[in-house]
Structure 1
Amino acid sequence: MLVQTEDEIVLGDDPSRLHENSGVGLPAAVLASATLLSACGGGGGSTGGTGSTAPVINAPPVTEIQASRFLAQASTGATREQIARVSAIGYAAWIDEQIAMVPSQTRWDWLVAKGFNAAANIFTQNGFDSVVWYKLINAPDTLRQRVTLALSEIIVVGIDGLVGAGWQAFSAAQFLDLLEAQCFGNFRTLLENVSTSAAMGQYLTYRGNTKYNAKTGALPDENYARELMQLFSIGLLKLNPDGTPLTVNGVQQETYTLDDITGLARIFTGWDFDLSTSKTDTPDFLRRPMTQVDSRHETGASTFLGATVPAGLNGAQSLKAALDIIFAHPNVAPFICRQLIQRLVTSNPTPAYVQRVASVFMNDGKGVKGNLGAVVKALLLDDEARNAANLSNPQSGKLREPVLRLLAWARAYKLSSVSGNWSIGNTSDPATRLGQSPSRSSSVFNFFRPGYLPPNSAIGAASLVAPEFQITNESTVVGYVNFMQRLVSLGNTDLIPDYSSLLPLAENASALLKEINIVLAAGQISDETLNSIASAVNTMPTGTDARKNNRIYAALTLVLAAPEFVVIK
């Protein structure tokens, strides 16, 4: 069995040195252009919309530009093949096809197949980053991967917080597998699976939670009860069905109080790892839901959110009753739907957009509440997502988070791993990498908050939000360009992109950039920016395949740094 330490790309020691490129000498003019383009990549990371009253479901044909734009929202990266598929069958049919697709191999099974369940890995994170990137880049069910990534940033478990039981890679992988298994299922079921997952029990510290003890003064841990309401279901403020704050005499209303947290915390007593069939010398116990220790469970009544879970219920019964109370709260639909729209489509959806999608959450057309597959389909087909008028709307769009920028390139150019171990590693370092790495948020509040306002900015002055800007600064801008320039120019011996489709175009800068613009940027790079990039590329020699490749590297690096790529509409 293979036991391998995570292999990470090593960039130059000085993160400000954009010319650190593993011997592939890009001209200074090209690299300077990359810095300038990336540095101005902030404008318009938010959205408004046309406010149509009904979703638009486009029948074929869909143009390649429209298909690429759709895939920027609905996948982990557009490819020529997926663009052709969307163009051939239309948006709705593509979504149905993706939802019906048999799920790809689980992260857990990949880790086992690679031998990471060997005893040497108990107290390591070995294999985790590899399997996360492997799935995001390769899995054919790309819509499922995109929605799983979105859910992982709403219902957060960070691998570094999974302490005390070992097997961190397996615990974090199982949580992502759980989200993936339910990402087109029912939100109520998802909440229950999350609430009994070993990973969440570890991360928000209610595993081993015990009832009140008058003699010792022990109290139930309130951590999960608080975050379940604040972050995973209803939020801090009461909402209208369109996601705007509900006010009484002009005053916003809080959804819960400290007493509600205390009441709900009683529900999460008695839960612990299920060690009935295995011990901690293998990771198998982390794959099973937590189980109840009856002696630790609070059997008295628990009151929160204006409702009461009656006394005398066992732990599982109490949990079901409590989650039913939360699921019935009117905030759940607008609170969750707005964040899903932000993660997939736009930072500032109009209230009308939120309400249309929330109405599908409340009733999928078949009388079912919480159908996430129907919600995803509705938000992607909505007029505010599909209408081309938003391309010229200064309030439209969103800043691509760094992970999605890397994935756009990796998917487009069929990145492969020579070793099969996907040695991208932890990309959290903001100075030399992406400043973000999947499932490595430093807290339950994700990498960025959905309501983040960049200080002293035009976005903030317009009362708009731009979540991804919370991890955007001078260091991350330069670090991102450094990192991508190294990857693009074959700086990692394990990770190999396929530029065969670009090589015949390499000597014609305009043709090369047109193709890259369609696949990577959905045709949204302006003529002015394209001309600027073409001028830089045209300073480079042609003739040999090596020189052609250098022109490809330069064109890709500059497009990846361009504002119109970094901000997608």
Structure 2
Amino acid sequence: MTGWDDHIAEPLLTAPGDTDGQRIDKASKGLAMGGAALPLLALAACGGGGGGGTSTATPAGSSTPSTPVVVVTPPPTATEASRFLAQATMGATRGLIDAVVSRGYDGWLTDQFGMARATSHYDWLVANDYVKESDRFMVNGYDATLWRQMIVEPDQLRQRVGMALFDIFVVSIDGVTRSWRAISTGSYVDILLDNAFGNYRELMGAVTTSFAMASYLTYFENRKANPTTGTQPDENYARELMQLFTIGLYQLNMDGSLKMNGGQPIETYGQADVSGLARVFTGLIQPNAEDLPPRYRQPLVVNAGMNETGASSFLGTTVSGGGMAAINSALDTIFAHPNVPPFVSKQLIQRLVTSNPSPAYINRVASKFADNGQGVRGDMKAVIRAILLDSEARTLPASGAVGKLREPVIRFTNWARAFGATSPSNAWAIGDTNAATRLSQTKGRSPSVFNFYRPGYTPTGTSLASSGLVAPEFQITNEQTVIGYVNFMYGVIANGIGDVKADYTNILTLAADSKALVDEINLVLAAGQLSSATQAAIRNAVDSVSATATGGPINRVGIAILLTMASPDYLNLR
């Protein structure tokens, strides 16, 4: 898009010789709407709310029951539907907004739960010939297949939940070893997506026997203790399975609050538990010796000679006999731990809805995790419904109470989906966007098992910290990454990336009318959350470009999209 420089680019770009103060000032000018700059963005806890119901009480002194009160829930508005989709998908589209308005929240969830899984990452990599011998030690195709599925596949709820699980059960392709890394890590993401609507216990088992996870957390071909040499089993997976994937460091109540003893939190496990559990995860190897792609998607099996068959004690229980029976028994023990429902539920709420869910919200979701109403523990469909249909998720918070900072990858997919981005060559050459000059994040390339940001992160020296609130995504948010994001999106919105380009045909029909243009972008991209002041500022910038000038319409569209995506109103999903 030509002609942007006079209206947008200058305040957003920084020169190598700028002082820190000049860079911050330029970032603030580019991101501030009504005096609020991104680094000062605050998140606050949403208030808890109870559910509604019907009344069938009999009045005192009357033998005739009163007429039941029938509560009719109106269909969601387009704005409400867009906000719901901002939590439940990788980005709203006009078509999806209409579908949610038509089907209602519950009906849309039912449709998504019944939707067949999209082409697996493994199958896409094979079909697109990323299994040549020259690919054996490369990662070709990996980023492409993840971006493609997040942007274009219709099973959007599965994609969003799968990426939330990816933030918990972290594997980074940069830490996976051996050959066919794109195949093995892509197959690992398939496990998360395949089990996104299943049972959490089954997910735990599938993750445990994944080559990519075993390679990343170094328990692949893990050997039992050797008394002669003094070597002990690798403890990496045993520790992270408990600390990050299931129960956490401290005992929790169902509402996520800490259980205390003498004013101190109670630890869930100790070093002896880690060492005992590590004995169980010995002997896991690949099922055959043929070093070809299919080998890297197959579940690991136990090699008896490497596996510990003696008693292994942890978390107050003991398993023995070795093999997959011992592994399954250990996973059952962990899954039954009372911490699992609140620990997992809170993290999923944080990834989808709000960084600071109320204790009541956590309790409601954790209760569904513990029992879906039919005696089943870990039913992901019930948990997802509980998260997305809760009053705290569906009620727009009052002024001053907000939800979460949109993570950079989600911002990018928001744009791509809202404006129909495609890759005509099917290459999806978006690539690794980890650099601070891009998004500072790429799914499947986190710097450690702790993801790009921890669920309990709070930026120091802020009102968030003093208020006891957390803001996980701010761990990768600073002056450099803010400027990098806006400059990156400036280029992407204008020119695409590689052959991945948006289709602005429909939105261009509104280019001459700045109000209609901003209203539509506000609805589809920002879930209707742009303030009046922000909308007015964007319209003023749009109207500074003549709609009849050469390139005027496309420039007006580009200005409206970029300023929306740079505004705190958009970045902070309420």
Letter in 2 for 1:437: T
TM-score (norm 1): 0.92
Give the Cα–Cα distance (whole angstroms) in 1 for the partners of residues 174 and 471 of structure 2: 26
Residue 128 (1) aligns with residue 142 (2): yes
Residues of 1 paired with 2:541 and 2:184: CA distance? Answer: 47
Q: Which moved more, 1:342-351 or 1:28-37?
A: 28-37
Alignment of 1:57-72 (within 5 A): 59-72=73-86
Percent identity between the aligned chains? Answer: 46
The alignment's TM-score, normalised by the length of structure 2, stands at: 0.91
1:9-48 alignment, distance < 5 Å: 24-31=2-9, 35=27, 36-38=29-31, 40-42=37-39, 45-48=42-45
8 A contact 1:44–1:395 mirrored in 2? no
Q: Deviations over 1:195-253 (max 9, x none)?
A: 11111110000001001101111110000000000000000011011001110122111
Partner of 2:475: 470
Deviates more, 1:539-548 or 1:359-368: 539-548
Alignment of 1:177-196 (within 5 A): 177-196=190-209
- Is 1:375 matched up with 2:383? yes
What residue number does 1:16 align with?
A: none
How far apart are the structure 1 equivalents of 2:172 and 2:338? 29
| Contact 1:238–1:252 under 8 Å retained in 2 | yes
Corresponding residue for 2:499? 494
2:413 aligned partner: 407
Query: Post-superposition shift, 1:41?
Result: 2.3
Q: Is 1:42–1:567's contact at 8 Å kept on the other side of the alignment?
A: no
**1:147 corresponds to which residue?**
161
Task: Give the Cα separation in 2 of the matches to 1:403 and 1:140.
Answer: 18
Q: How much does 1:540 deviate?
A: 1.1
Q: CA deviation at 1:59?
A: 4.1
**Alpha carbons 1:45, 1:398 under 8 Å: kept:** no
Aligned AA for 1:222?
A: E
Paired with 1:385 and 1:519, the residues of 2 have a C-alpha distance of 19
Question: What corresponds to 1:327 in structure 2?
Answer: 335
Other-structure match for 1:542 = 547
Partner of 1:298: 308
Match of 1:349 among 350, 357, 369: 357
8 A contact 2:201–2:331 mirrored in 1: yes
1:60 Cα deviation from its structure 2 partner: 4.5
Say whether residues 1:166 and 2:170 are aligned partners: no
1:263 & 1:68 partners in 2: Cα distance? 48
Question: What amino acid is aligned across from residue 455 of structure 2 in structure 1?
Answer: P
CA RMSD for the aligned pairs?
1.5
Structure 2 unaligned spans of 5+: 13-26, 54-70
Distance apart, 1:509 and its partner CA? 1.3
Q: What residue identity is the alignment partner of 2:299?
A: P
Please state how far the C-alpha of 1:369 moved relative to its aligned partner.
Answer: 0.4
Residue 328 of structure 1 and its aligned partner are, at CA, apart by 0.9
Amino acid at match of 2:8: V
Instruction: Say whether residues 1:53 and 2:61 are aligned partners.
Output: no
Flag the structure with more relative contact order, 1 or 2, with Cα contacts below 8 A and sequence separation at least 6: 1
Counterpart pick for 2:98 among 78, 84, 90: 84
Q: Provide the residue aligned with 1:519 in structure 2.
A: 524
Q: Aligned match of 1:285 in 289, 295, 302?
A: 295
Larger radius of gyration: 2
Q: How far 1:544 sits from its partner (Å)?
A: 5.4
- Give the count of matched residue pairs: 538
The answer for the alignment partner of 1:555 in structure 2 is 560
Q: Deviations over 1:254-294 (max 9, x none)?
A: 11100000000000011112215xx11x2111110111110
Alignment of 1:443-454 (within 5 A): 443-454=448-459
Could you tell me whether the CA contact under 8 Å between 1:179 and 1:190 is conserved in 2? yes
The aligned residue for residue 18 of structure 2 is none
Instruction: Tell me, yes or no, if the aligned pair for 2:46 and 2:403 is still in contact at 8 Å.
Output: no
Residues in 1 aligned to 2:149 and 2:72: alpha-carbon distance in whole angstroms: 29
| Cα pair 1:450 1:467 within 8 Å, conserved | yes
Separation in 2, partners of 1:33, 1:73: 31
Q: Distance in 1 between matches of 2:560 and 2:385?
A: 34
Whole-angstrom CA distance in 2 between matches of 1:503 and 1:209: 58
Q: Is 1:261 paired with 2:274?
A: yes
Which residue in 1 is equivalent to 2:131?
117
Instruction: Report which stretch shifted further, 480-489 or 36-45.
Output: 36-45
Gaps of 5+ in 1: 1-22
